[in-house]
Structure 1
Amino acid sequence: MSKYPTSILITGGTQGLGYFCARFIAQKQPNTLVVVASRTDPGNSAATINAELKQSNVKFMKLDLGTLATVRSFATAWKSGAYPPIQALVLNAGLQFPGDISYSSDGIEKTFAINHVGHALLYHLLRENLAADARIVVTASGVHDPAMKSGITGHYTNAADVAQPSADSIEKSYGRGRYATSKIANVLWAYALARRLAASPKTKGQTVTVMDPGLMPGTNLGREAPAVARWLFVTVFPRIIPFLRFLLRTQNVHLPAESGAALARLAVGEDVKGVSGKYFEGVQEIKSSVQSYQVDLQEELWEWTVEFVGSGKEERERFRRGE
Structure 2
Amino acid sequence: MTATPNKTAIITGASAGLGLECATALLASDPTWHVVFAVRDVARGAHAVEQAGHPARCTVLEMDLASLTSVHAFADDFRGRGLPPLHAIVCNAGLQVVSGTEHTAEGVEMTFGVNHLGHFALVRDLLADLAHPARILVVASGTHDPAKTTGMPAPRYTRAADLAHPADDEPVDGRRRYTTSKLCNVLYAYELDRRLGCGANGVTVNAFDPGLMPGSGLARDYSAIGRWAWRYLFPLLRVLPNVNSTRASGARLAALVCDPRFDHVTGSYIEGKRPIASSTDSYDLEKALDLWETSEQLLERTDHQDQPGEPRGRAAK
Global fold match (TM > 0.5): yes
Q: Distance in 2 between matches of 1:120 and 1:272?
A: 23
CA RMSD of aligned residues (A): 2.1
Question: TM-score, with normalisation over the residues of structure 2?
Answer: 0.90
2:221 to 211, 224, 237: 224
Question: TM-score, with normalisation over the residues of structure 1?
Answer: 0.89
Match of 2:148 in 1: 148
Quick check: 119-128 or 145-154, which moved more?
145-154
State yes or no: 1:254 paired with 2:244.
Answer: yes
Displacement of 1:166 after TM fit?
2.0
Change (3 A) 1:126 1:164: same
SS state of the match for residue 315, structure 2? helix
Q: Distance in 1 between matches of 2:37 and 2:76?
A: 16
Displacement of 1:226 after TM fit?
1.6
Match of 1:248 in 2: none
Displacement of 1:42 after TM fit?
3.2
Quick check: 88-97 or 55-64, which moved more?
55-64
- The one-letter amino acid of 1:253's match is V
State yes or no: 1:47 paired with 2:53.
Answer: no
- The one-letter amino acid of 1:138's match is V
SS state of the match for residue 196, structure 2? helix
State yes or no: 1:308 paired with 2:298.
Answer: yes
Match of 1:264 in 2: 254
State yes or no: 1:206 paired with 2:203.
Answer: yes
Q: Distance in 2 between matches of 1:316 and 1:86?
A: 17
Unaligned segments of structure 2, at least 5 residues: none
Match of 2:315 in 1: 319
Match of 1:10 in 2: 11
Aligned pairs, how many? 305
Match of 2:56 in 1: 56
Displacement of 1:55 after TM fit?
5.7
Q: Distance in 1 between matches of 2:311 and 2:149?
A: 40
Summarize deviations over 1:173-220 as a string: whole Å, max 9, x none. 5111101111111111111100111179xx711000001111001111
Match of 2:166 in 1: 165
SS state of the match for residue 230, structure 2? helix
Q: Distance in 2 between matches of 1:163 and 1:88?
A: 27
Summarize deviations over 1:58-88 as a string: whole Å, max 9, x none. 2222211001111111111111112222111
Query: Contact 2:186/2:207 (CA < 8 Å) preserved in 1?
Result: yes
Q: Distance in 2 between matches of 1:70 and 1:55?
A: 24
Q: Distance in 1 between matches of 2:186 and 2:18?
A: 18
Change (3 A) 1:87 1:100: same
Query: Contact 2:99/2:174 (CA < 8 Å) preserved in 1?
Result: yes
Query: Contact 1:4/1:84 (CA < 8 Å) preserved in 2?
Result: yes
SS state of the match for residue 66, structure 1? coil
SS state of the match for residue 146, structure 1? coil
Quick check: 144-153 or 231-240, which moved more?
231-240
Change (3 A) 1:318 1:79: closer
Q: Distance in 1 between matches of 2:313 and 2:135?
A: 23
Match of 1:215 in 2: 212
Displacement of 1:240 after TM fit?
5.0
Query: 1:118-197 counterparts in 2 under 5 A?
Result: 118-152=118-152, 153-167=154-168, 170-171=170-171, 173-197=172-196
Query: Contact 2:141/2:210 (CA < 8 Å) preserved in 1?
Result: yes
Query: 1:34-113 counterparts in 2 under 5 A?
Result: 34-40=35-41, 42=44, 44-50=47-53, 56-113=56-113
Displacement of 1:231 after TM fit?
2.2
Query: Contact 1:307/1:316 (CA < 8 Å) preserved in 2?
Result: no
Query: Contact 1:214/1:253 (CA < 8 Å) preserved in 2?
Result: yes
Displacement of 1:90 after TM fit?
0.4
Unaligned segments of structure 1, at least 5 residues: 246-250
Matched residues, percent identical?
A: 39
Q: Distance in 2 between matches of 1:229 and 1:35?
A: 32
Query: Contact 1:7/1:86 (CA < 8 Å) preserved in 2?
Result: yes
Displacement of 1:241 after TM fit?
2.2
